[in-house]
Chain A
Amino acid sequence: MTHIIDKIFANATRLIAIIVLLITAWIFTVLFQESLLSMQTFGLDFVTESKWAPNLEKFGAFAAIMGSVISTFLAMVLAVPIAIGVAIFLSEIAHAKLKAPVGVSIELLAAIPSVIYGMWGLFYFVPIIRDIFGGIGIGMLTAGIVLAIMILPFMAAVTRDAMNTTPDILKESAYALGGTKWDVIKDIVIPYSKAGIIGALILALGRAIGETMAVTFVMGNVHKVSFDLTQPATSIPVTLANEFTEADTKLYFSSLFELALILLVISFTIISIAKFYFLRRTRRA
Chain B
Amino acid sequence: MSTICSVTEEKALEINKFDFTYASADEPSLKQVTMPIAKNSITALIGPSGCGKSTLLRSINRMHDLYPGNKYEGEIMYNGRNILDEKEDLISLRVNIGMIFQKPTAFPMSIYDNVAYGLRLQGMRNKTELGDRVEKALKDAAIWKEVRDRLKHDANGLSGGQQQRLCIARAIAVEPEILLFDEPTSALDPISTQGIEELVTELKDKVSIVIVTHNMQQAARVSDYTGFMYLGELIELGKTEELFVTPKERLTEEYITGKFG
CA distance A55 to B156 in the complex (A): 63
Within the complex, which residue of A96, A170, A178, A194 is in contact with B105, where a contact is CB–CB below 8 Å?
A170
- Of the four ranges (under 10, 10 to 19, 20 to 34, 35 or more), the interface on chain B belongs to 20 to 34
Which residue of B is nearest A176, CB measured? B99
CA distance A220 to B117 in the complex (A): 53
| Residue A113 CB within 8 A of the other chain | no
| Residue A174 CB within 8 A of the other chain | yes
State whether A96 and B101 are in contact (beta carbons under 8 Å apart), knowing that A176-B63, A176-B94, A192-B108 are contacts in the complex. no
CA distance A176 to B102 in the complex (A): 14
Which residue of B is nearest A181, CB measured? B66
Chain A residues in 8 Å Cβ range of B207: none
Within the complex, which residue of B94, B103, B109 is in contact with A191, where a contact is CB–CB below 8 Å?
B109
| Residue A3 CB within 8 A of the other chain | no
CB distance from B261 to the nearest CB of A (A): 25
| Residue B244 CB within 8 A of the other chain | no
Report which residue of B63, B105, B109, B174 has the largest number of chain A beta carbons within 10 angstroms of its beta carbon. Answer: B105
Which residue of B is nearest A171, CB measured? B66
| Residue A131 CB within 8 A of the other chain | no
- Of the four ranges (under 10, 10 to 19, 20 to 34, 35 or more), the interface on chain A belongs to 20 to 34
Are the C-beta atoms of A169 and B118 separated by less than 8 Å? no
Are the C-beta atoms of A172 and B63 separated by less than 8 Å? yes
Chain A residues in 8 Å Cβ range of B118: 177-178
| Residue A45 CB within 8 A of the other chain | no
Are the C-beta atoms of A178 and B121 separated by less than 8 Å? yes
Are the C-beta atoms of A169 and B122 separated by less than 8 Å? no
Are the C-beta atoms of B174 and A178 separated by less than 8 Å? yes
Report which residue of A176, A191, A194 has the largest number of chain B beta carbons within 10 angstroms of its beta carbon. Answer: A176
Are the C-beta atoms of B107 and A188 separated by less than 8 Å? yes
Are the C-beta atoms of A173 and B102 separated by less than 8 Å? no
| Residue A243 CB within 8 A of the other chain | no
Query: CB within 8 Å of B: which of A140-191?
Result: 167, 169-180, 183, 187-188, 191
